[in-house]
């Protein structure tokens, strides 16, 4: 199986966050879905020290399906990974937990929004499979 790109992992995590915020409006619900170690590094990206949401999360709470809000949250994650590449592993763990929830029937689990030509699952076919515009 081909490795999943970091951009797909980020899009999946942000999609899950957006879906959680759409249903609950609270980032704490989203954070409660993951282990303490994972939450420890991602929490400061989304919340200020007084637990108030940062601007990108406020915008996402107000309009979780707005492409610009999703993109802003994705960019925040990408910037964090650029500064601290070792955070990619916990992010991938979040992605795996989200996929596990999807396999167990959680409808909000994997939702990649506004990404083109992305496959986040396995493809099984008796012939050729083409993903893309052609």
Mean pLDDT, all residues of the chain:
79
Domain boundaries, the chain: 6-98
Residues 6+ apart with CB under 8 A from 30: 16, 17, 20, 21, 24
* Average pLDDT of span 29-43: 80
d(C-alpha 57, C-alpha 6), whole Å = 21
pLDDT digit string, tens, across residues 51-108: 888 898 899 989 988 999 999 999 999 998 999 999 898 889 889 888 888 777 655 4
Q: Which residue has the tokens 């899950």?
A: 16
Residue 134 has pLDDT above 70, yes or no: no
| Rg of the Cα atoms in the chain | 15
| Whole-number Å distance between alpha carbons of 4 and 77 | 16
Query: With bands split at pLDDT 50, 70 and 90, how would you rate the model's confidence at 42?
Result: confident
């Amino acid at each position: 199986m081909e490795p999943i790109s970091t951009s797909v992992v980020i899009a999946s995590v942000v999609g899950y966050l957006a879906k959680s915020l759409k249903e609950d409006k609270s980032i704490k619900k989203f954070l409660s879905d993951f282990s303490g170690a994972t939450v420890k590094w991602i929490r400061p990206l989304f919340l200020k020290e007084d637990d108030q949401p940062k601007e990108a999360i406020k915008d996402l709470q107000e309009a979780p399906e707005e492409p610009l809000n999703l993109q802003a949250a994705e960019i925040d994650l990408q910037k964090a990974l650029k500064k601290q590449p070792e955070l990619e592993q916990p992010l991938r763990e979040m992605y795996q937990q989200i996929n596990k929830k999807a396999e167990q029937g959680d409808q909000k689990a994997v939702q990649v929004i506004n990404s083109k030509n992305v496959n986040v699952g396995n493809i099984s076919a008796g012939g050729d499979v083409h993903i893309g515009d052609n």
